[in-house]
Each structure stands twice: as structure tokens, then as C-alpha cells.
Structure 1
Amino acid sequence: MKTLLTYETWDNNEALKINNELKDFMNVLKWAYQEYQDQIVYACSFGAEGMVLIDLISKINKNARIIFLDTDVHFKETYELIEKIKNKYPTLKIELIKPRLSLAEQAEQFGEKLWEVNPNLCCKLRKVDPLSLQLSGVHAWISGLRRDQSDTRRNVQYINKDDKFNIIKVCPLIHWTWDDVWSYIRINQLPYNELHDQNYPSIGCKTCTIPVEDELDSRAGRWASTNKKECGLHQA
């Protein structure tokens, strides 16, 4: 009987074999849902890649579980998009995951505007810790990472051993370009965040995201006044 590939049973040779055999994004998603059944979750930020993945996932598992890390400081356009997606894909199980601390409680413990004083701690409290709690109950999670997003993501594979959350991370879109993402959205007439039309290639919290002029760097508008490049969810 084949051993389920989990963090605990991870084998480098087996993972290499799987990554070599998975030829494209649909094969990756089919493999993931066949392998993990209901023990896999898609953590979606509802960016452009998210629209692609939600549509692809709906073709394979119409009852898939999708979570959104609701920090309470997202743009109104993001919340509006989530409602549109819920209406378009009514059978998908879309959940908004809240941090343990409300904004008021966070301010009381750590001071006002923690995202300005200590953005790493803010991300930990409002994104990393909530995701860690959700992933503790499953074997794998899906992410929309693409290799051309940043230097830190160039070595991402389809199937990855995620040492941050002690889980398997599945990344179906690693070979997609920004143009590929938008071609899919337009061809399939998918809804998307209106902020993308206002020079926001990557959309996070409204407190830490600004429009950009450099379209070559899709992450340029995130934490623009700091050296921070990632929210802490991804080591790669």
C-alpha cells in the first residue's frame, strides 16, 4: 500500500519523482486532491493568482475548503471580491479566519499601529499564527506562489516540504507568468480585485500596501518603506 506523502513521511527521492511526473498545474491539483482528500486546504489571498486557482480548484473539487486570513485591515475591494466569489462558486467552502486578538486588543497590548512599529510581529499575530492553527489539522495546503514573483520564490517546486508549518505545501502555478495569470482571468471572464486596475499588482493589508509604478516587481508595493518582503507565511 502506498504511503501517504506527509511532512512526517517526507522522502526527498519520492518528492523528486512526484515533481518530475507532474507535468502541469492541473495534474498537480488533481494529484493533491486525490492524495489528501479533505486533508488539504487552499489559503487564498484573493489576489489575481487566487482567482485562477479558485477557478481551477472548482473544476476538480467543487466542495474544496478555502481559507482567507482576515486581518481586519484589508481593503474594502478585497471584501467585496470575496462576496462575489462566494456567489459565483456557492459550493466551495470559503472561510474568513480571524486572529486571536481584535485590533483593539492588539493596540492595548502592543500599541497603536503595530504594522508601522513592528510589521513582522503584526504579520505574525494577524496572519502567521492564525494560519498555523488552521494548518495544524490537515496534511497539506495549496499556495499561489509563482517563481517569477521574487528572488526568494525562484526555487519553489510543485510539491514542497514546508518546515515553517511542518506540512506539505502544493504550488500549482510555479511556472506561470504575470501575463499567464491575466490571460486566464480575461479569457474566462473571472472577477478580480478592482485595485489591480489601479497599479496594485500584489494586494495585502491596506495599512501596508501601496500602488507601484514598477510592473516588473509584483511585490514592490508591499511594505514599501521597509526591508520586509514577505509576511512570514513562506520561507521560500
Structure 2
Amino acid sequence: MVTPCRRGGAEVSPAVNLNTSTPTPTRVLPERRSIEQLKALAEQGSAELWRTDGTEASATAVIAWVARNFGADSVAVACSMADAVLPALVSVQVPGVDVLFLDTGYHFGETYATRDAVEEALDVTIVDVLPLTTVPEQNAEHGAELFARNPNQCCALRKVEPLQRTLADYELWFTGVRRNEAPTRANTPLITWDERNGLVKVNPVAAWTYDELLGYAAEHTVPVNPLLSQGYPSIGCAPCTQPVAAGADPRSGRWATLEKTECGLHL
């Protein structure tokens, strides 16, 4: 079975398909708390992070709550490498935190370059999350360009299954999901129990706007994917991502010719 590849500073050129690399052994993990304990923590956090005036806690306060209640080895940050704002925020309070990068084998060269820049700039550990098969192996089994013929299956094989397999090692994951990204994300909570993956899910920047995200990146010199300034406000796999018109739904460039707006990671 393919295991996540913990890079730990290894040099990898942009646009290289890491699905052909030899993965490193799985790390030794602390004992995971029970589902009941983790569910209780999710409920506790959801209640604590509402202020007395009825407003939500800041992203920094949310991350501080996690740092108080979870060990550094038990949490991970999911990052698509559109920007590194979330890893930057988390690494301040959880130095060396694992940052999960889903290496589908179909990313833009700019996305791989951003991953490498994040590894260089931030106090994080990049973990390349690999599918069970390489792109050539998938083509041999399912036919070429599965992403065009059956995008749901392609996403399931190259994103959803690898992430679920990797998250089994953790008690909590951070995501950069924001409410104004799409109607499907409008009710995103700061903290919730992720029933599908069996761990706590935290969305510290849920209330942020796209402009706030870019503003933070500029102010703190956080790496961003250059495609953001080329009309790609939402960046996925290269064959399935197109630039969008100014003012359009940020995710309208994802699977643009299909009735699909989510890959399945956040359903």
C-alpha cells in the first residue's frame, strides 16, 4: 500500500509527478483518543469559540484552542497550494505541523512550485498524500482521461480515498474552506465533527473573504500560487481547472463544463 511521503526538506523539482516516488515509512503516532472523546472536544470547541456578544472567535483564537487541546503530532493542515495562509497561521502556534498536499499527479507546475516555496518559507512538514495508483496505472485500469469521462470517480481515486486513508492517523484536521467560496460552503462552521473521516474538522478562516486572504498573504509575505493573479481564484487539477471571468463564482472554473462544483473532500 502507498503511504504518505513526508518530505522533510527533500528537494523535488516543480511539476514532477510524485506518484512515482518511493514513499517513506509511516511515522510512529501517539495513541489516538476515542471517537467519543473527540466528538466531545468538537462540541466543546464549537461552544467555546462563540463570544458572549454572539460573534465568532478569530482564526488565531480558533488555532490557539486547538493548540491547547491537541498534541502537535495529532493535527494536520490540508492545503491545495493555492495559497499558504492557513499553514502560515497554524505554524505560528503549532510549529512543524504536518501540511497535507494531495498529489493527484495532475497539478499545474505552478502548484508544485508553490508547495516547494511553502516548505522553504514556513515551519511546516509537507506530507505528499499519494493515490494508490500512478496516473499511468490508473489509465491502464480505467482508460485514459478518466477525469473527463467520470470526474467523480477520478476525484474519489486520487483525492478522497488518499485523504481518508491519511487522516486516519490524526485526531483533527484544519481546512481553508470559506463560506463565500460557493453556496455549498455557506454554512461552514468553525469547528465540527467530521463523521465521514472520523475526526475533528476545523475551519479557522471560514468567515474570511478572498480579499482578506490575499491581504494577509501580502502583509505577511506568505507564498501564493501565481495562478491566482492569472484568473484562477480556485485551483485544482490542471485538466479540470479553467480561469474565470472577473466577478464570477470563484469555483465556476472547476469542472466548468460539468454540473460539478466539489471534488468530494468537503461534502
Length-normalised TM-score, structure 1: 0.91
2:124 and 2:225 mapped to 1: Cα distance? 19
Partner amino acid for 1:56?
Answer: L
Match of 1:227 among 250, 254, 259: 259
Which residue matches 1:141?
173
User: Which whole-Å CA distance do the structure 2 matches of 1:13 and 1:86 have between them?
Assistant: 33
CA spacing shift, 1:157–1:19, aligned 2, 3 Å:
farther
Q: Following superposition of structure 1 onto structure 2, how do residues 1-236 of structure 1 map, counting pairs within 5 Å? A: 7-9=35-37, 10-11=39-40, 14-21=44-51, 23-37=57-71, 38-48=73-83, 51-89=84-122, 91-235=123-267
Cα 1:197–1:6 shift into 2, 3 Å: farther
Amino acid of the residue matched to residue 17 of structure 1?
Answer: A
Deviation per CA, 1:168-213: give whole Å up to 9, x if none: 1000001101111111111122221111111000001001000010
Aligned equivalents of 1:13, 1:134: Cα separation in 2: 24
Amino acid at match of 2:236: G
Q: Is the alpha carbon distance of 1:192 and 1:81 closer, same or farther for their aligned partners in structure 2, counting shifts above 3 Å?
A: same
Q: 1:95 to 1:15 in 2, by over 3 A?
A: closer
2:9 is matched with none
- Rounded to whole Å, the distance in 2 between the matches of 1:13 and 1:136 is 20
- Matched residue pairs, number? 229
**SS in structure 2 opposite 1:20?**
coil
1:128 deviates by 0.4
Letter in 2 for 1:147: R
Deviates more, 1:214-223 or 1:36-45: 214-223
Deviation at 1:92?
A: 1.4
Q: Which SS does the other structure have where 1:182 is aligned?
A: helix
Q: Against the structure 1 CA distance between its residues 29 and 13, is the aligned structure 2 distance closer, same or farther, given a 3 Å change threshold?
A: closer
CA RMSD of aligned residues (A): 1.8
Give the Cα separation in 2 of the matches to 1:13 and 1:146: 20
Moved more, 132-141 or 27-36: 27-36
Post-superposition offset of 1:6: 6.6
Structure 1 unaligned regions, length at least 5:
none
**What residue ranges of structure 2 are gaps of 5+ in the alignment?**
1-31
Partner of 2:89, secondary structure, is: helix
